[in-house]
Chain A
Amino acid sequence: MDIHSLAEQAAKIVSKYAGEYIVKITRTDDLMAKYARGESTVTQSWSTIDVEVYAAKNQRILVTSYSTTTPERALEELPRLIEALQPSPLYAPLPQANGEPLSFVDEKVREVVLSGDARKQVEELALEEAGDVAGKVEFALKKVVLVGSNGADYSYEATHFNGYVRVFQEKSSGQWSWTSSSYEPSLARKALEQAVELASLCSRLPKKSIEPGRYRVLLSPMVAGNLVEHLAMAASAGSIIFGFSFLQARKPGDKVASEELTVLDKPRDTSLPGFTGFDDEGIATKDKPIVEKGVLKTILHNTKTARVLGGETTGNAGWITPHPYNIEVQPGDHTLDELIEALGTGVYITNNWYTRFQNYLEGRFSTVSRDAVILYENKKPVACTERIRIADSMPNLFSSIEAIGRETWQIEWWEVTVPTRIPHILVKDVGLSRPT
């Protein structure tokens, strides 16, 4: 199906009712093999078409989403919906489109997805050779078309190869992930090696509990990726407007983290699969720092949030809520061995999940470790501990960063939903807790 024709057809209908509109159509073909206990549990295959429409009339805003190949009938109810509305305080005119489309297609990924047959790749990766392994391997091909009343008429194609593995050895486990726009089996193998190494290390070390308190902590790229994603989302003007941001009272120029930390949004980096050359308003994207050397540099905006909070769009629309595309933490100078040396006596947390806020505005949160949590004494791993929590505040945690690793990892999984390139991060005085 030609989704460009479908977009033009939808735009023609919408233009009858709405002064301003954008139609975005995404076709996704996706193949995913899922593992547990060293065998395949299910292989899934999707062929999906999503038709999303933004329409505005007399400052009233309507956002619709249809997974259908025949949106005509659904779109006919647009006038009834839009007439029931009132002018939105968020309304701003659509800007003149100036997108600079980017495409990146890895032919191997395309071939696998379109054939619907990943048997060869799944056998090549041989994840099950690690024994008791669970995880997923995913191949995806996406085509996006965006047309609008503001002159937008753009399209791009992208491929995506990602996954994660969790390896169990006796009562210990390790987990790691990878993501890329290309089929790079070496990334999957490195992730598997990491997971095996962590599980193996903890299976050899004794188990020891730690007392709740403040510790120097080394965060793996998996953990750091999760926490930095919360920082990047807190920098979205949508999070600020809707009361979900611990950066609400901060403005660009304020110090919000240790000067070791630089976090970038990199939509134009086609090696990470979140890339795009235009946002949902048809504005050209740009790579930019969110936090540079600890200083807040950019609040992520679309045209509407920029009008409400003051500023200009940063090309991060989201029709309602702006968002980052690819996150990168600028690497530091330290090897992993040097970070462990600096850790000295402390805790290396390799994976986490379930990050929840007691108070979004002040950033009070906790998150639970899973997989290997390794205790170091005098730079040596001496024991692994049971599941613990980081229980602290985001401002405190980011202000307490001491050092950043040199080697980066490309992470994407359940708890890191935005593709992220990130090294290990060393933080002092981190609040840790456990059940009593």
Chain B
Amino acid sequence: MIDESLLNRLIEEMSSKGAEYAEARYHSIVRTSIIVLNGMVIGVGKEVKEGIALRAVAEGGLGFASSTSLNTEDALAAARRAVMAAKTSAKIRRNPVRMGSARLGRAKYSVVEREPLDDVSLDDKVKSLIEEYKALQLEKNGFKVSSLTLHYAESMETKVVVTSDGAHVESRVPRVVVFYNIAASNGGKQANRFFELGGSGGYEVYRGFNLAKQIQDDIESLYIALTRAGSPPKGWMDVIVSPELVGLIVHESAGHPSEADRVLGREAAQAGMSFRSYYKEERIGSEHVTVVDDPTIPGSLGFYLYDDEGVAARERVLYDHGRLAELLHNRETASVYGVESNAAARAMDYESEPIIRMANTYMKPGDYSFEELVEDVKHGVYIKKYMEWNIDDVRWGQRYVGLEAYIIENGELKQPVTNVVLETTTKNFYSSIDAVGKDLKFYAGICGKGEPAQGVPVWMGGPHVRLRNVYIG
């Protein structure tokens, strides 16, 4: 932990060197990870990432500096570097950077661990992962799981954010995530399933994963894909998309294009821009489509109450009944647009500048049951699980490839198919939705952006949705 008077001193140092705005963040992440391969512990990892991040606006330029050392002298040197960096930026800056006014916090919060992570021994955590593996059925009729890698990671993120205009926010967020990769074969054919689970809280989050059940379900998907699934259909048809895929799609084609820094071009050479920079229409989808991003969902992987500029968080409506709505803002972009920041500034760690990020992005549920969505499809396909996906750098053309999918005939699920390709545009996807399920589910992910690249934890979610007459092939 840090002596908070040091952060105030760093603010003073940056101000005295010419900073019009100064921000100091103590940021610590302590992470323990366990890697299990085929039921055996490969190793345990421990990571402590702790240091100070500083930002300054000077002469209209923006500078960032970080220091591993918490020693006063080293930290003060970093403060001076931040101001120098800002002045370097100012040399090639036409429009001065401004930090808009915002609802700044003076607050302290933490996520409660109902079962504190430190109360469960590492030994018990290791044993639990091995027990989960032992419970799995790995072979069936010539089908075989050739390798199964489990990666468990628990972390505690502690931050203190102080700004020269009055924010002071302390936070403490524990998280638990599990990644796994299943490699399976049947005869000469092979396939993978990679998946991630995650949430904020204590060890109860891990217990809630029902890991063995979850993995067994994915093994079954691979079994189907490698033994029974037919070739994918091609042509125009109705498509039911699962919550797993809807979550990913809204993250990629509603969340990312709504990041104001992309819209303004700040990430143009890295994560790209946004169709919202030039798209002139008001409508992007049908009236059934409402997509929001909300950092305040309890237990979520992207949870926070104040962002890394000290601004109070709230739900942001990105697509509102099919219409383009809010952008995600930090204080810099909010000032350009003449609005207040809606608290989207996040930094991965103390070596990272806060940039605009999603937290928990999801499509609002409707009122259809899964059966009601299916029963009205004459000829179509249901995409349940996917592996491959990507989207272009303006978040318009996108591709998703189903691992487990089913033909729908006359309102009934029929034979399984695999490698079903949905390659469409953002407008086509959202405009084709004619019904939305009531079964909202969330999925965990790490979202990448920035330079150097920053990966931050997020949730992505949605219900089942039905698309009318889209091209599969």
Number of A-B contacts (CB under 8 A): 283
Chain B residues within an 8 Å CB radius of A354: 390-392
Pairwise interchain contact B268-A122, C-beta atoms closer than 8 A: no
Pairwise interchain contact A116-B122, C-beta atoms closer than 8 A: no
A31-69: CB near B (< 8 Å → 1, else 0) gives 111111111111111111110000000001111111111
Pairwise interchain contact B390-A366, C-beta atoms closer than 8 A: yes
| B215 CB → nearest A CB, Å | 14
User: Of residues B37, B89, B189, B428, which shows the largest number of chain A Cβ atoms within 10 Å of its Cβ?
Assistant: B89
Chain A residues within an 8 Å CB radius of B148: 243
Pairwise interchain contact A40-B71, C-beta atoms closer than 8 A: no
Pairwise interchain contact A414-B88, C-beta atoms closer than 8 A: no
Chain A residues within an 8 Å CB radius of B71: 69
Interface residues of B in 113-150 (CB under 8 A from A): 121-123, 126, 146-149
B441-473: CB near A (< 8 Å → 1, else 0) gives 000000000011100000000000000000101
Kindly state whether residue B416 has any CB partner on chain A within 8 Å: no
Known: A65-B47, A90-B43, A117-B84. A414 touches B453 (CB 8 A): yes
The answer, among A117, A165, A389, A391, for a CB contact under 8 Å with B88, is A117
| B180 CB → nearest A CB, Å | 10
Known: A33-B88, A42-B353. A64 touches B390 (CB 8 A): no
The answer, among A45, A81, A356, A361, for a CB contact under 8 Å with B390, is A356
A interface majority secondary structure: strand
Kindly state whether residue B183 has any CB partner on chain A within 8 Å: yes
- Chain A: which residue is nearest B31 at the CB level? A65
Q: CA of A48 to CA of B68 in the docked complex: distance in angstroms? A: 5
- Chain A: which residue is nearest B121 at the CB level? A84
Pairwise interchain contact B45-A64, C-beta atoms closer than 8 A: yes
Pairwise interchain contact A360-B192, C-beta atoms closer than 8 A: yes
| A431 CB → nearest B CB, Å | 11
Pairwise interchain contact A42-B122, C-beta atoms closer than 8 A: no
Known: A36-B265, A242-B149. A116 touches B85 (CB 8 A): yes
Pairwise interchain contact A134-B268, C-beta atoms closer than 8 A: yes
Kindly state whether residue A434 has any CB partner on chain B within 8 Å: yes
Pairwise interchain contact A434-B89, C-beta atoms closer than 8 A: no
The answer, among A37, A40, A68, for a CB contact under 8 Å with B48, is A68
Stretch at the interface among B6-14, B56-64, B204-212: B56-64
Pairwise interchain contact A84-B393, C-beta atoms closer than 8 A: no
Chain B residues within an 8 Å CB radius of A122: 88, 91-92
Chain A residues within an 8 Å CB radius of B428: 435
Q: CA of A44 to CA of B87 in the docked complex: distance in angstroms? A: 11
- Chain B: which residue is nearest A249 at the CB level? B190
Pairwise interchain contact A389-B399, C-beta atoms closer than 8 A: yes
Interface residues of B in 379-434 (CB under 8 A from A): 387-394, 396-399, 401, 403, 419, 421, 423-425, 428
| A302 CB → nearest B CB, Å | 13
Chain B residues within an 8 Å CB radius of A80: 122
Pairwise interchain contact B43-A85, C-beta atoms closer than 8 A: yes
Kindly state whether residue B69 has any CB partner on chain A within 8 Å: yes
The answer, among A33, A62, A134, for a CB contact under 8 Å with B46, is A62
Kindly state whether residue B377 has any CB partner on chain A within 8 Å: no
Chain B residues within an 8 Å CB radius of A414: 270, 451, 453
Chain A residues within an 8 Å CB radius of B92: 35, 39-40, 122-123, 128
| A194 CB → nearest B CB, Å | 14
Q: CA of A31 to CA of B84 in the docked complex: distance in angstroms? A: 11
Q: CA of A82 to CA of B122 in the docked complex: distance in angstroms? A: 10
| A126 CB → nearest B CB, Å | 9
Chain A residues within an 8 Å CB radius of B351: 46, 48, 67
Pairwise interchain contact A361-B191, C-beta atoms closer than 8 A: yes
Chain B residues within an 8 Å CB radius of A355: 390
Chain A residues within an 8 Å CB radius of B74: 47, 69
The answer, among A39, A86, A248, A370, for a CB contact under 8 Å with B95, is A39
Pairwise interchain contact A243-B146, C-beta atoms closer than 8 A: yes
Pairwise interchain contact A165-B269, C-beta atoms closer than 8 A: yes
The answer, among B38, B88, B185, for a CB contact under 8 Å with A119, is B88
Pairwise interchain contact B423-A34, C-beta atoms closer than 8 A: no
User: Of residues B50, B190, B398, which shows the largest number of chain A Cβ atoms within 10 Å of its Cβ?
Assistant: B190
Kindly state whether residue B2 has any CB partner on chain A within 8 Å: no
Pairwise interchain contact A243-B87, C-beta atoms closer than 8 A: no
| A146 CB → nearest B CB, Å | 18
Chain B residues within an 8 Å CB radius of A63: 43-46
Kindly state whether residue A149 has any CB partner on chain B within 8 Å: no
Binding site for A on B (CB under 8 A): 32, 35, 37-38, 40-51, 61-71, 74, 77-78, 80-82, 84-95, 121-123, 126, 146-149, 181-183, 185, 189-192, 264-270, 272, 350-351, 353, 387-394, 396-399, 401, 403, 419, 421, 423-425, 428, 451-453, 471, 473
Known: A90-B42, A387-B396. 12 other contacts (CB 8 A): A36-B264, A39-B95, A42-B353, A45-B84, A46-B65, A46-B351, A81-B44, A84-B123, A242-B37, A248-B183, A248-B190, A358-B419
Closest 4 CB pairs of A and B: A243-B183, A358-B388, A61-B43, A354-B390
